[in-house]
Chain A
Amino acid sequence: MSKMLIKGNEAIIRGATLAGCKNFFGYPITPASEIAETASYYFPLVGGNFLQAESEVAAINMVYGAASSGVRCMTASSSPGISLKMEGISYIAGAELPCVIIDVMRGGPGLGNIAPEQSDYNQIVKGGGHGNYKLIVLAPNSAQEMNDFTMKAFELADKYRNPAVILADGFTGQMMEPVEFPEPVEKFPEKPWAIKATKETKDNLICSIDLDPDDLEKHNIHLQEKYAEIEKNEVMCEEYKTDDADVILVGFGIVSRIIQTAIDELRNDGIKVGMVRPITLFPFPKKIIDKYASKGNVKNINVVEMNNGQMVDDVKLVVNGRKPVSLLTRIGGNIPTVKEIINHIKKRG
């Protein structure tokens, strides 16, 4: 198979259609708009439906409706729009509906700016909506992964009846890179729970309300068990030159690409650095981080993020004081440079 040069945002829609997604509901926002634009062009060609909703609130509720029918469906937005979707996301998680949500993060809070940030980590990974729910979260760092992870997200969403999120940033969305596209998925899992408007499914109910505390507790315990299962089976993590590393850098998404370059340069200077890059942010690669937190030769662990330090909390929770954990951040739409990372590591010694 050969490659095609394509924008991350456009690769997402190719991936979605190849994964059999036929329904897109969205509302324009920079830097995610190309996703909707691309969907509006291609979805009708492959027998799908595209609709520009009146708001992000409407879009996520349209997804709720479409997902109830058992079809693969999606929405895409950027940080301020994702904030608006939070109520709907909570309902979807509560009703256990599979769907894919794309968040191409930008600077915040408020209207912020349209430059890349990673400040939705908390609202996506920790649940910005109400209730005890978790989303499956994948953080791509290349156009290829924008395609691959979108396809994977549909698979995971169906497998666990849970919303899955692609947590990308302005750069990964806007960047063009070579992408190899696989053949379309032709087989889909059965969804006996779905409302298909047929005699066989007329007793099916999509619902998140349960007035009885015991019943709601039961439902919540079921959800927690499901999340534990996801943690057991679905962790994805990339390691770069960690074998002999005595300094560990941790970063996700686009930051991991910058870290990688910094590592190559630091190694030229004889510093043994390696990277742990969480790909799934939930489930978080706790075991791998734990491995380095307990490894004798590892001197310190250093988190780089494009936010005020959000993932670092999860890293610290695993490290639990066994190694010093430092944090390097740039915010407001700035990105950490290779030089900044190199200087940060050199200063720590």
Chain B
Amino acid sequence: MKNNQSTILQKSPIFYDTFERKAGAQLKVTHYCPGCGHGILHKLIAEALVDFNVDDKAVFLSPVGCSVFAYYYFQNGNIQSAHGRDPAVGTGYKRANPNSIVVSYQGDGDLASIGGNNILQAANRGENITVFFVNNATYGMTGGQMAPTTLIGQKSTTTPRGRTVANEGYPLKMSELLSTLEAPVYVERVMLTDPKNITKTRKAVRKALKNQIDNKGFSFVEVLSACPTGWKKSSQDSKKWITDVMEKYFPIGVKKDVSEEREPTIVKRKTPKYSDFHKLLDIQSLNSLPDVPEIPKTQNISEEIKIAGFGGQGVLSLGYVLANIGMGHDYAVSWLPSYGPEMRGGTANCSVKVSSDRIGAPVVDNPTTLIAFNKPSLQKFEADVVKGGNIIYDSGLIDSPPERDDVNGLPIKATEIADKLGSTKAANMVAFGVYVGLTGYLSKEYIQWGIKHIIKKEKFHKLNLEAFNKGFEFGKKHK
């Protein structure tokens, strides 16, 4: 590793010889104003990347701001991000390619204002990236408007009488803020004023990059940097202003450093074989199980079932079992739940279709069978049932039978029966049995085999079967 200070202002091999990406005639000089801090910081970063031999692996994020054109100069992979989004873009890149070295480089407007939450969250996740934060107390690129770091009393084009606490609040101290978080490994504020401080900055830049190379996590270097143009000051006065004014509010120094004790985190991703994908993704069909019984012939049917009750009565899982069994019989099926807050504490319902034809609308407007587990459900859907349709209802919980006389009412104390068998949870299987016994188009043998594969909880297998059988006998009798 080269380590002599004289390399600082030499051209780094990581910089392009001519800046071809820069439009216009002057392809040898940068677009930065004289006395601007950006150029110096670019060089320090470039030098460190080369010295650590990671320049090929480095991916530089150019934010919105004066440094948006960093890609004119750096010869390494470069991603130009939307205003403030570097930490998110860097997170995405690094996660996709953990082998890279991600350098996020942001201005104060970019990082502390519009991208405030992105930097906070990336720091808090401890993303293994390095962030350089150029604090020049102004919006350089857009012409000197107020930044979140503009000092109290400082004039800008949007604080023409100076920033006031009353109107704009206090300048944000990002380094102090981020150093209170658990995850960051290293946070330091430095300034680009004189050779001594440039050397300090150089050290900080290297440390922040080294931490990433060593997989230690998130590092953050805030750099107090001159913007002579925005400040309307000479280069010399700008440097003096940093030392005399800025540094008083933004004191330089290490705010947090746990790089010694922090263990490296190496990202390890699984590399499964393609042939294992279906298994890993739990892709498995009922009828491809080895012990599948004979699948009965399909009949010409078009069943539309509405199942409704309180949340917790197994309404949705009854629909799920029915749709699965229907699919197992080679029918077209669909299952559509009511969803969202509707489900919370209140009623739940689902629409199931089982058909020998392709299914159009998955919504059941007019059920051929309504299965109701509570009174509000019966009241809500009774009128929708087709003429001659079935209403299976839990007569232990619903005290008044359906009012219509053009439908087939089937009262069964499903919850009570299930309770006697061992758990009220199996009430839905009692109702399922009634439906199957009544309609007769699904095979009892197939169901008895299928239920235990569909509802995987083994301790309910016996109970579910008993409940189903009780319902089935009742349904068959009322066919």
Interface of B is mostly: mixed
Chain A interface category by residue count: 35 or more
In the complex, A310→B15 CA distance in Å? 50
How far in angstroms is the closest Cβ of chain B from A130?
11
CB contact under 8 A between A54 and B320, given known A114-B341, A181-B278, A257-B360 = no
- Contact check, A58 vs B361: say whether CB atoms are below 8 A apart: no
- Contact check, B335 vs A199: say whether CB atoms are below 8 A apart: no
Q: Which of A68, A69, A196, A337 contacts B365 (CB 8 A)?
A: A337
In the complex, A15→B324 CA distance in Å? 21
Which A residues lie within 8 Å of B99 (CB)?
197
- Contact check, B92 vs A257: say whether CB atoms are below 8 A apart: no
CB contact under 8 A between A4 and B320, given known A23-B92, A195-B78, A197-B59 = no
CB contact under 8 A between A175 and B92, given known A47-B270, A197-B100, A207-B80 = no
In the complex, A91→B333 CA distance in Å? 41
- Is A51's CB within 8 Å of the partner chain B? yes
- Contact check, A61 vs B97: say whether CB atoms are below 8 A apart: no
Interface string of B324-358 (1 = CB under 8 A from A): 10010000111111011100000000000000001
- Contact check, B82 vs A88: say whether CB atoms are below 8 A apart: yes
Residue of B nearest to A170 (CB): B339
Which A residues lie within 8 Å of B272 (CB)?
45-47
- Contact check, B93 vs A178: say whether CB atoms are below 8 A apart: no
In the complex, A58→B92 CA distance in Å? 9
- Contact check, A73 vs B96: say whether CB atoms are below 8 A apart: yes
Q: Tell me which of B167-175, B190-198, B279-287 binds A.
A: B279-287
Q: Tell me which of A150-158, A208-216, A227-235, A288-296 binds B.
A: A208-216
* Other A-B pairs beyond A260-B358, A261-B360, 19, CB < 8 Å: A2-B288, A5-B324, A5-B333, A31-B339, A48-B269, A57-B88, A62-B92, A65-B96, A66-B92, A71-B96, A73-B96, A178-B332, A181-B278, A184-B277, A197-B59, A197-B97, A203-B75, A205-B78, A207-B62
Q: Which of A57, A174, A261 contacts B336 (CB 8 A)?
A: A174
- Contact check, A45 vs B280: say whether CB atoms are below 8 A apart: yes
Which B residues lie within 8 Å of A195 (CB)?
59, 77-79, 93
Residue of B nearest to A339 (CB): B365
Residue of B nearest to A65 (CB): B92
**Across the A-B interface, the 5 shortest Cβ-Cβ residue pairs:** A65-B92, A261-B360, A62-B92, A195-B77, A197-B100
Q: Which of B23, B281, B358 contacts A17 (CB 8 A)?
A: B281
Interface string of B141-171 (1 = CB under 8 A from A): 0000000000000000000000000000000
- Is B85's CB within 8 Å of the partner chain A? yes
How far in angstroms is the closest Cβ of chain B from A97?
10
Pairs across A and B, CB under 8 Å, 20 listed: A17-B277, A31-B340, A47-B272, A51-B95, A54-B88, A58-B118, A61-B85, A61-B92, A62-B92, A63-B92, A66-B96, A67-B92, A88-B82, A196-B97, A197-B99, A202-B56, A205-B21, A205-B79, A206-B78, A258-B363
